[in-house]
Amino acid sequence: MRAGNLALVLGELDRHGPLTRAALADGTGLTKTTVSKLVGDLIDAGLAVESGAVRDGERGRPGTAVRLSGHRVAALGLEINVDYLAACLVDLTREIRVTRTHPVDNRSLPPSEAIALLRSLATTVLTEAATLGLTIAGAVVALPGPVNPATGAVHRAPNLGWHDVAVTDILDLPLPVTVDNEANLAALGELWFGHGPSLGDFLHVSGEIGIGAGLVVAGDLFRGAHGFAGELGHVVVTPDGPPCRCGGSGCLERYAGQDALLSSGQTLSDLVTRLQASDPEAVTACTQAGTALGIALTTAVNLFDPDTIVLGGIYAPLFPWISTPAARTLHDRLNQMHPKVPTLIVSAAGTNAAPLGAAGSVIQQVIADPMPHIESPLTTPTP
Amino acid sequence: MRAGNLALVLGELDRHGPLTRAALADGTGLTKTTVSKLVGDLIDAGLAVESGAVRDGERGRPGTAVRLSGHRVAALGLEINVDYLAACLVDLTREIRVTRTHPVDNRSLPPSEAIALLRSLATTVLTEAATLGLTIAGAVVALPGPVNPATGAVHRAPNLGWHDVAVTDILDLPLPVTVDNEANLAALGELWFGHGPSLGDFLHVSGEIGIGAGLVVAGDLFRGAHGFAGELGHVVVTPDGPPCRCGGSGCLERYAGQDALLSSGQTLSDLVTRLQASDPEAVTACTQAGTALGIALTTAVNLFDPDTIVLGGIYAPLFPWISTPAARTLHDRLNQMHPKVPTLIVSAAGTNAAPLGAAGSVIQQVIADPMPHIESPLTTPTP
């Protein structure tokens, strides 16, 4: 009962705060006495804080308001991708407190070494968290492949060459850690740290060495029966196309993944420089990749029917050159049947979308179930 | 309050009945007095009926049980497809009371004439309903294209050649009528009248002249932002393939739709006869269609991640010849990445899956909101 009411009040503060106790009572249907007690508990636990005087809605009476506090609880978001590691720290108000990225070719390392490097990055961030006086509610690791959140393992990440790696066991951090697919988390990152709920139902595409997508429907991630939904990179573009690391052939990844876009040795910023100089070869490469992306997205729209499509990952810096051919293909193939062809927009969550979504999903969990952070206050882990 | 409690009791009877009043009180959390009053109302309204003595769960005491009654309220399911019309009558217990199918080439008729033929078929079934003493809560019309349930219109059904046809207005039946996509309704037909919830999350594929699909997740249809999700027939199989009536090219429909499978003049039963005699040309046609279907389903599994795929419509009689190449393609392309490649099974709801799902969705609505059928009892419409 108390756990549910604490979550009610915290959720109301999250969505609509700062709020007076009277407005909280209105919004939750609880009595003012109950609300005052619960707010007291939340303030004592460092999850909420007095916010000074505000006008109280329609009646215009000034009152003392309460809002979420970013001073005590935070969450750690981590990412292992093919060519980098990332960590970020987000507090309860979803303010981004720390971000760290570490470029490394994880394909050349055994999983245990890549994970040891991530532990080192995470430990640095945890030390900063301690300095900031923040206690960490938990961590989520974003991984480029289908994961099993129950075991903390990644089933198969073909672009890393990983198979059944028990990531959370090997990572062995002194706090609760789970794993999730990076494309899922990047979509949630866009929901919480990017364009947000104004997108309606949206498909967020993460262009990396692999291409993943996360579908957000009514503010929730569509995960599928086994958590493997949204594998846009393995949508078949041409059935007899080049073989793919997934075991199939002609997958989108082979036409529009990072390796297809960057000829050997070229970096992403090299490519952007050439595109800005209207280098014909670079423009053609993006037009071909964008057209293939448009074909896969035509299929995705036929199956998912989203309001909006958000392009993130490497497609964000390449947006002007990738999105035009993709949008044209989408329009040409869909406009007769669909009264409203989804628009393509560039991700606002940036390159840290996945670790931000990872940290955000821990914060979401704290807001949905704050009781553990009130009954037995967390101690700051000393890494 | 009363409306909600009536729905609680009726829902409990639907899922778990027959039940004693004591078991209903346990299951709903209502008092026995309240349950007795509500059950009385449901019995008076003809929605429930005394069911004789049953043992009352664990305690083993015999008691008088109550169950849903099929004697008063029923629903009309209708379908307009390219080469037939169908109507069926389903009672509150989801027993199928009447089914009628009328073969007709609706492509050769103006929409108003096709709809007039459907009205005539519906009127026949409504007369039978009156004879059976059934009152009709409403009707849903299954249509082969994206529909707007709010207006009762079909936006565009390219295989019928229809564009913005106000179906419910023209049909003008003396009862509440809405419209829905036939592939969506066929999926619900499979859920309620076919294999049912044992399928887990499933994709139901309706092979007709067009190919639609309905994804059922946790017992609910996944509709997308505009109700257009599941357009499997327009998943791109080969980007530079033959042009499709949708305005795209190389869509699955061009490889595995009924027109692609049946060479001109041949009927479905001709094809089945030839397949049973191992006619090489017929077997090759099905292998090619099944392989294309397997490619589109590979894509659908990568995006939707269902437990099971159900093949219905014309794929039901063709199942032995279509499913083998489709399953092989699916396995070859997915087995390295997916720990469990979904199995293909044949639809159990049969050729009437869509009108059954249509009638079932009206019944679902009655069970979710029985109040209108209690406050002002419906009169049997006299067509």
Tell me the pLDDT of chain A (383 aa) as tens digits: 788 999 999 999 999 989 999 999 999 999 999 999 999 999 999 999 998 766 555 555 567 899 999 999 999 999 999 889 999 999 999 999 999 999 999 989 999 999 999 999 999 999 999 999 999 999 999 998 878 777 888 877 878 889 889 999 999 999 999 999 999 999 999 999 999 989 999 999 999 888 999 999 999 999 999 888 999 999 999 999 999 988 999 999 999 999 999 977 789 999 999 999 999 999 999 999 999 999 999 999 999 999 999 999 999 999 999 999 999 999 999 998 887 899 999 999 988 999 999 999 999 999 999 999 986 544 555 44
Amino acid identity of residue B301, one-letter, is V
Amino acid at A245: R
ipTM: 0.89
Q: Tell me phi and psi for residue A352, to 5 degrees.
A: -95, 20
Determine, for residues A337 and B246 on separate chains, whether the beta-carbon distance falls below 8 Å: yes
pLDDT tens for B168-188 read 999 999 999 999 999 999 999
B21, B26, B32, B35 alpha-carbon torsion, rounded to 10°? -60
Would you place residue B339 in the very low, low, confident or very high pLDDT band (cuts 50, 70, 90)?
Answer: confident
Say yes or no for a CB contact (<8 Å) between A299 and B299.
yes
- Cβ–Cβ of B226/A303 closer than 8 Å? no
**Closest chain A residue to the Cα of B145, Cα to Cα:** A337
Residue range A73-187+353-375, CATH number: 3.30.420.40
Q: Residue B220: is its pLDDT beyond 80? A: yes
Q: Which residues of B touch A333 (CB under 8 A)?
A: 236, 246-249
Please give the backbone phi and psi of residue A226, each rounded to the nearest 5 degrees, phi first. -120, 15
Name the residue in chain A with its Cα closest to that of B292. Answer: A239
Of B115, B188, B128, nearest in space to B365 by CA: B188
- Rounded to the nearest angstrom, the minimum Cα separation between A377 and chain B is 35
**What fold, for A2-68?**
Arc Repressor Mutant, subunit A (1.10.10)
Query: If phi over 0 gives left and psi between -120 and 50 gives alpha, with beta otherwise, what is residue A342?
Result: beta
Q: Give me the mean pLDDT over the B84-105 stretch.
A: 96
What integer best gives the mean pLDDT of chain B?
Answer: 92
Highest mean pLDDT among A242-246, B136-140, B157-161, B226-230: B136-140
Comparing CB atoms, the residue among A201, A306, A339 nearest residue B155 is: A339
**pLDDT above 70 as % of chain B:** 95
Residue type, B67: R
Distance between CA atoms of residues A24 and A56, nearest Å = 10
Nearest C-alpha neighbor of B354 from the set B14, B31, B77, B35? B77
| Closest in A237, A238, A333 to B248, CB measured | A333
Fold of A195-348: Nucleotidyltransferase; domain 5 (3.30.420)
Whole-number Cα distances in Å, A262 to A14, A80, A120, A324, A342: 42, 21, 30, 19, 28
Q: For residues B98 and B133, is the Cβ–Cβ distance under 8 A?
A: no
- Mean pLDDT for B128-157 is 89
**Nearest-by-Cβ selection for B303 from A229, A248, A335:** A229
Residue B361 CA to residue B369 CA, distance in Å, equals: 12
Average confidence (pLDDT) over B339-354? 92
Mean pLDDT, residues B334-352 taken together = 90
* pLDDT of the residue at A332: 95
CATH 1.10.10.10 boundaries in chain A: 2-68
- Decide if A282 contacts A270 (C-beta within 8 A): no
**Residue A380: φ, ψ to 5°:** -65, 125
The whole-number average pLDDT for the span B4-26 is 94
- Do A234 and B335 lie within an 8 Å CB cutoff? no
Q: Closest Cα of chain A to B145: distance in Å?
A: 9
pLDDT confidence of residue A286: 97
pLDDT of residue A227: 87
- Reduce the DSSP state of residue A245 to 3 states and report it: coil
Give the C-alpha separation, B233 to B242, whole Å.
13
Residues of chain B with Cβ-Cβ distance to A253 below 8 Å are none
Inter-chain CB proximity A335 and B305 less than 8 Å? no
Residue ranges of alpha helices (H) inside A29-110 are: 32-44
- Cα dist. A144→A78, A88, A317, B50, B170 in Å? 12, 17, 20, 57, 52
pLDDT at B156 over 70: yes
Lowest mean pLDDT segment, chosen from A142-156, A347-361, B4-18, B215-229: A142-156
Which of B299, B309, B331 should one mutate to test binding to chain A, selecting the residue with the greatest count of A CBs within 10 A? Answer: B299
| pLDDT at site A190 | 97
Packing angle of the helix pair B319-334, B280-304 (nearest 10 deg): 40
Please give the pLDDT value at position B209.
Answer: 85
- Residue A310 pairs in a beta bridge with A204, A345
| pLDDT reported for residue B323 | 98
A239 chain-B contacts, CB cut-off 8 A: 237-238, 295
Query: Do B302 and A158 make contact, defined as CB atoms within 8 angstroms?
Result: no
Number of Cβ pairs closer than 8 Å across A and B? 148
Closest chain B CA to residue A243: B333
Name the residue of chain B whose CA is nearest to A302's CA.
Answer: B231
In A, which residues are within 8 Å of B296 by CB distance?
236
Residues carrying CATH 3.30.420.40, chain B: 73-187+353-375, 195-348
Report chain A's C-alpha Rg in angstroms: 22
Phi, psi (deg, nearest 5) at residue A275: -65, -40
